[in-house]
Chain A
Amino acid sequence: MPAVEIKNLNFIYSKKTPFEKRALQDINLTVEEGEFLGLVGATGSGKSTLIQHLNGLIKLQDKKRSSVVVNGMSATDKKSLKKLRFEVGMVFQYPEYQLFEDTVAKDVAFGPKNMKLDKDEIDARVRRALEVVGLEYDKFAERSPFDLSGGEKRRVAIAGVIAMQPKVLVLDEPVAGLDPVGREDILSLVKKLQKEVSPTIIMVSHNMDDMARLADRIVALKDGCIVANGTPKEVFCDRKLIEDAGLDLPAATRIADKLIARGVEIPSDIVTMDALSAELGKALRSRITVAAKANDGVSEEDENV
């Protein structure tokens, strides 16, 4: 059973007013359990509207034709709506702006409390969630979330979502506005979360390097339509599509392109820095061997003379 199944999804903002705007157009998308899906697209391409359908924050406009099903639960079903929200963890952009309690522990406990769990279970979950995001419970639990650093606040906010132990975790630009170290920390945290808490991850990002490195599959949106759907290699090797969708290439691909143009013999489907350095190493080694062979040839000739 796929974790997420979206069929014929359409959405129009401010219907029948001069401000009418089509945000989603016939979206069909399936996300398998255990998959890391990268969602990319320019600002206003419909990413946020799409992900808010996953836990019923935005209601379906055409219930007859379209459907959104997450782990067998329909997003239109009012009775299972709450359950659905606990099943789909949603980390919005700048989640630290949603902190409100006077201590970190209380804020992280907000979700589990709404799940009506008993007190011991809530405590255990808060402890574990803080631990997973790398904040020591004894050190942080009783502090005010407003006294923490930006990166720490964001971790608290993420802990608040994963304390509900969602099966599907949706992250909307989780590294926006962080410094390079903070970015790396959060990205490795996301990978860790996939292993330990939520097997299925849907991440929105504008950073193609992160996407190429982390995602199993990339879906690109443009003006509310899916314009690309495939592995990072498939998507980023289609240069025309990338340009049409208004997207960037990963830095590794751009470097590889330039190197190929200069005559370096490496494949053209490189999307990550790791692959690039591996291929460059290979190319370099083969050049050395060729050069060495050539050298050997020269010295043999010398001897003959």
Chain B
Amino acid sequence: MFKDVAFGQYYPTNSPVHRLDARVKLLLTLLYVAAIFFIKSYFGFMLTTAVLIIIVALARLPIMSVLKSVRGVLFIVVFTAIINLFFIKDGEVLVQSGSLIITKNGVHTTIKLVLRLVLLISGASLLALTTTPVQLADGLESLMSPLKLIKVPVRDIAMIMSIALRFIPTLFEETNKIIAAQKARGACFDTGNIFARIKAMLPVLIPLFINSFRRADELAFAMDARCYNATDKRTRFKKAKLGWGDLIAFVFIAGYFTVILLDRYYFRTVGIDIDSMIFGELL
């Protein structure tokens, strides 16, 4: 039960995608997200979907694990879709009843918006699904290291991040234990109004805080005892190295990005309209 939270969304399958360097994955995810905002044509969305399916297949993830992350934002997707569908009033009218007008333009915008959001979320979730939180923190630290030049304490930030990530499962486990213990003494957390519920959480929160401070103290001692010093130059136990897989992944996503840019800025100027080539009269 708590394993779901303990490892974030991480879904271990030891695929080539999982083995990619976290830094590369971070950058490529950014590139992917940027690409999505350049898409204007249905061809672009189809291409993106294909790219996404290829990555999911390579990562050996069940498609449900990706869609699960979409479910989290389903409300926003549906809400914006409805707003767009009814409030875009220019273009050819398709349906009209009273003051409700649905236009062709509105339908197109809505479909594209939904596709954009779904592809964005599922693409970003791939990063979390194939990279452990610790790898992510290390990757971020490495990517942020140029900021050291302007005296940003990158190492401290990274250490804080790793410690926080490290203790999420511990805290979660402990919360469960305390909840179980207080439930065993007849505590009830799911009845009464909001104030009653907040008050009912006190027997959980107080021990949790006290134990956290105790643990923080112990951790500080333990780090001190091993001469931790964030300012000194520190070496790494696991050094991330770029491999061939990283290069291939980069070429793949960069190629995809280029096609999206071409589709947006070039193809139409030379008279190629892939959308009408595929869908013809449908649009």
Measured CB to CB, the residues of A under 8 A from B are 13-14, 17-19, 52, 55, 57, 82, 85-86, 88-90, 92, 95, 97-100, 110-111, 114-115, 146, 160-161, 164
Q: Which of B195-228 contact A (CB under 8 A)?
A: 202-204, 206-207, 210-211
- Contact B3–A164 (Cβ < 8 Å): no
Q: List 5 A-B contacts (CB under 8 A).
A: A18-B11, A19-B3, A55-B184, A90-B181, A110-B182
- Contact B185–A161 (Cβ < 8 Å): yes
Interface centre among B13, B180, B182, B184 (most CB of A within 10 A): B184
Number of B residues whose C-beta is below 8 Å from A? 25
- Contact A57–B202 (Cβ < 8 Å): no
B1 / chain A contacts, CB cutoff of 8 Å: 13-14
- Contact A17–B4 (Cβ < 8 Å): yes
Q: Which of B5-35 contact A (CB under 8 A)?
A: 7, 11-13
How distant is B252 from chain A, measured CB to nearest CB, in Å? 26
- Contact B185–A114 (Cβ < 8 Å): yes
- Contact A92–B183 (Cβ < 8 Å): no
A57 / chain B contacts, CB cutoff of 8 Å: 180, 183-184
Known A17-B4, A100-B207: A52·B180 in contact at CB below 8 Å: yes
Q: Is B186 positioned at the interface, with any CB of A under 8 Å from its CB?
A: yes
Given B7, B11, B177, B186, which contacts A114 in the complex, CB threshold below 8 Å? B186
B178 / chain A contacts, CB cutoff of 8 Å: 97-98
- Contact B183–A100 (Cβ < 8 Å): no
A92 / chain B contacts, CB cutoff of 8 Å: 177, 180-181, 184
Residue of B nearest to A99 (CB): B207
B206 / chain A contacts, CB cutoff of 8 Å: 100
Q: A256–B186 Cα gap in the complex (Å)?
A: 46
How distant is A44 from chain B, measured CB to nearest CB, in Å? 14
A99 / chain B contacts, CB cutoff of 8 Å: 207
How distant is A57 from chain B, measured CB to nearest CB, in Å? 5
- Contact A85–B182 (Cβ < 8 Å): no
Known A86-B186, A100-B206: A14·B181 in contact at CB below 8 Å: no
Q: Is B187 positioned at the interface, with any CB of A under 8 Å from its CB?
A: yes
Residue of A nearest to B176 (CB): A57
Known A13-B1, A18-B12, A100-B206: A90·B184 in contact at CB below 8 Å: yes
